[in-house]
């Protein structure tokens, strides 16, 4: 391997790593606020790419159907649970939040589609469409067991991923997509060709993690989220509703996953089931940060990207084996580095 190839591989790895970093940060965000290890997160990224591709092709994306189905389910569950506890006055608000709002989003997409919107608008539409999915899934799947152990939530999360993959095929079909590049510019850095897409990926990763940082440190909602992450009961006593904090975390996380999906779609062909590997690799990064630290997660994700890039040069078939085998030493290192208190398995 020459220095040139190494440089190209490194740049490639950093670009992939940046995409993973966005997903990894979202994973950590959701885990700290809700204790859910949200495995389907990569699916959200893949669905965004598929949505964008459908919009590019002037078709109504399958996401529309998915959102409508999920919104109806979530709304029905919320109304039933409100009716059971006798809080009928809250029903209109619930219907608005869980049904009308997602339907408005769908309506906006449907209307805008008729006017052949330009690329930037399509990006926004794809993100808008993808954002309701995780909060709705949260309401349907995780809210009823919000107090269960992390282990049970993880099991549910893995099952949810498989459900989503099936739904993905149903709504998006088996074809892979590759969207048009967002930019065709290219620059030379120290004699190495760097594509505009790579620059864009890096910039987006930096901007969005920066925005998240500002959000956490300088807004009240951000502080409420951090409080929930530290201590749910304490936050609840301070008037913060963990359920709402969870919804916000899912919305923000979806945005990160959506952006990463949009960024990776022009580089890799995305299928309905591409999200699993994307999510898990981001996840390896998140574990480097102990599922708690954002910079740690980002660094880990970059590491995964770079290792994957070099591994695929050595053996493209075994690169995934290499990346996942890496998780074991990382986990060991984490478990020795952090003396976490023993979590008892529930009966």
Partner 1 sequence: MTLQQIRLVIAAAIACLVAAPFVLNPFSITLLNYIGIYALAAIGLALLTGVGGIVSFGQAAFVGVAAYSTAWVTAVNGYSPWLGLVLAVVLTCSIAAILGFVTLRLGGHFLSLSTVAWGLAIAFLFGNIDGLGQHNGISGIPPISIGPLALVESRQIYFLIWAIVVAVLFVCYNLLDSRIGRAMRALRGGNTLVESLGISAFQTKLATFVIAAFLGSLSGWLYAHLGRFVSPGPFEAAMGIEYLMMAMVGGAGSILGGVVGAAIVTLLKNSVQDYLPLIAKGASGQLEIVAFSALFILFLQRARQGIVPFLAGFLPDLKQSRPQAATALPRREQPPPGTLLLKVSDAQRRFGGLVAVNNVSFDVRSGEILGLIGPNGAGKTTMFNLLTGALRANSGEIAFAGRSITRDQQFHIARAGISRTFQHVKLRPRMTLLDNVLLGTYSRTKTGLLAGALRLNQAEEASARYEALRQLERVGLGDKPFELAGNLPLGNQRVLEIARALAADPTLLVLDEPAAGLRRQEKLKLAELLRSLRADHLTILLVEHDMEFVMSLVDRIVVLDFGSKLCEGEPAAIRSDARVQEAYLGGVA
Measured from the CB atom, the residue of 162 and 215 that comes closer to partner 1 is 162
> 178 or 334, CB closer to partner 1?
334
Q: In angstroms, what is the minimal distance from the CB of 345 to partner 1?
A: 4
Task: Specify the residue, 276 or 302, whose C-beta has the smaller distance to partner 1.
Answer: 276
Q: In Å, what is the CA distance from 281 to each residue of 85, 181, 276, 298, 307?
A: 42, 23, 9, 12, 11
Binding of partner 1 by 292 (CB under 8 A)? no
- Residue 317 within binding range of partner 1, rule CB under 8 A: yes
To which residue do tokens 């309905």 refer?
272
Residue 255 to residues 81, 134, 216, Cα–Cα distance (Å): 28, 10, 15
Judging by DSSP bridges, how do beta strands 186-189 and 192-195 pair with one another? antiparallel
Segment lying near partner 1 (by CB under 8 A), choices 51-59, 99-107, 198-206, 330-338? 330-338
Instruction: Please report, as residue ranges, which positions from 128 to 157 form the binding site for partner 1 (by CB under 8 A).
Output: 141, 144-145, 149-152, 154-156
The interface mask with partner 1, positions 160-199, x = CB under 8 A, is: x-xx-xxx-xx-----------------------------
Contacts 24+ apart (CB under 8 A), 67-71: 67/102, 67/105, 67/106, 67/129, 67/132, 67/133, 67/136, 68/102, 68/103, 68/106, 70/102, 70/132, 70/133, 70/136, 70/137, 70/140, 71/98, 71/99, 71/102, 71/103, 71/132, 71/136
Interface stretch with partner 1, choices 52-60, 108-116, 260-268, 328-336 (CB under 8 A) = 328-336
Binds partner 1 by CB under 8 A, chosen from 38, 283, 294, 310: 283
Smallest distance, partner 1 to C-beta of residue 153, A: 8
Q: How far apart are CA 145 and CA 150, in angstroms?
A: 10
Minimum gap (Å) between residue 158 Cβ and partner 1: 5
Q: Is 14 in the site for partner 1 (CB under 8 A)?
A: no
Least gap, CB of 165 to partner 1 (angstroms):
7
Question: Could you tell me the CA-to-CA distances from 166 to 67, 144, 162, 234, 252 in Å, in that order?
Answer: 15, 23, 6, 39, 25
Alpha helices, H only, the chain: 3-34, 41-56, 63-85, 91-95, 101-113, 119-130, 133-137, 150-172, 196-218, 220-230, 232-237, 242-264, 275-288, 294-314, 319-337
69 touches partner 1 (CB under 8 A)? no
Closer to partner 1 by CB, 242 or 266: give it.
Answer: 242
| Interacting residue with partner 1 among 24, 225, 249, 280 (CB under 8 A) | 280
- Residue 314 in the binding site for partner 1 (CB under 8 A): no
Binding footprint of partner 1 on the chain (CB under 8 A): 37, 141, 144-145, 149-152, 154-156, 158-160, 162-163, 165-167, 169-170, 276, 280, 283-284, 287, 317-318, 320-321, 324-325, 327-328, 331-332, 334-335, 340, 342-345, 347
């Amino acid at each position: 391997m020459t220095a040139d190839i190494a440089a190209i591989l490194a740049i490639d790895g950093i670009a992939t790593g940046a995409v993973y970093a966005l997903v990894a940060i979202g994973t950590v965000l959701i885990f700290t606020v809700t204790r859910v290890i949200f495995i389907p997160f990569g699916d959200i990224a893949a669905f965004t790419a598929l949505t964008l591709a459908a919009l590019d092709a002037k078709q109504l994306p399958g996401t529309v159907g998915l959102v409508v189905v999920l919104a109806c389910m979530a709304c029905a569950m919320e109304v039933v649970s409100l009716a059971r506890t006798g809080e009928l006055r809250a029903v209109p608000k619930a219907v608005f939040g869980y049904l009308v709002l997602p339907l408005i989003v769908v309506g906006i997409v449907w209307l805008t589609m008729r006017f052949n919107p330009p690329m930037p608008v399509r990006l926004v539409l794809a993100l808008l469409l993808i954002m309701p999915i995780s909060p709705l899934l949260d309401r349907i799947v995780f809210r009823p067991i919000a107090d269960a152990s992390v282990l049970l939530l993880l099991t549910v999360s893995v099952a949810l991923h498989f459900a989503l993959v099936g739904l993905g095929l149903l709504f998006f079909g088996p074809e892979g997509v590759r969207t048009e590049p967002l930019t065709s510019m290219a620059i030379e850095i120290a004699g190495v060709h760097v594509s505009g897409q790579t620059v864009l990926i890096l910039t987006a990763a930096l901007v969005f993690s920066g925005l998240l940082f500002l959000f956490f440190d300088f807004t009240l909602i951000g502080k409420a989220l951090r409080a929930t992450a530290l201590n749910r009961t304490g936050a609840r006593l301070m008037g913060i509703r963990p359920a709402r904090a969870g919804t916000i975390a899912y919305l923000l996380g979806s945005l990160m996953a959506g952006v990463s999906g949009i960024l990776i779609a022009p580089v890799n062909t995305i299928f309905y089931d591409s999200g699993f590997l994307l999510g898990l690799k981001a996840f390896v990064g998140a574990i480097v940060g102990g599922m708690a630290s954002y910079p740690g997660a980002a660094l880990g994700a970059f590491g995964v990207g770079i290792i994957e890039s070099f591994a695929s040069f050595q053996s493209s078939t075994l690169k995934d084996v290499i990346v996942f085998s890496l998780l074991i030493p990382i986990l060991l290192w984490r478990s020795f580095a952090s003396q976490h208190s023993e979590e008892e398995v529930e009966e």
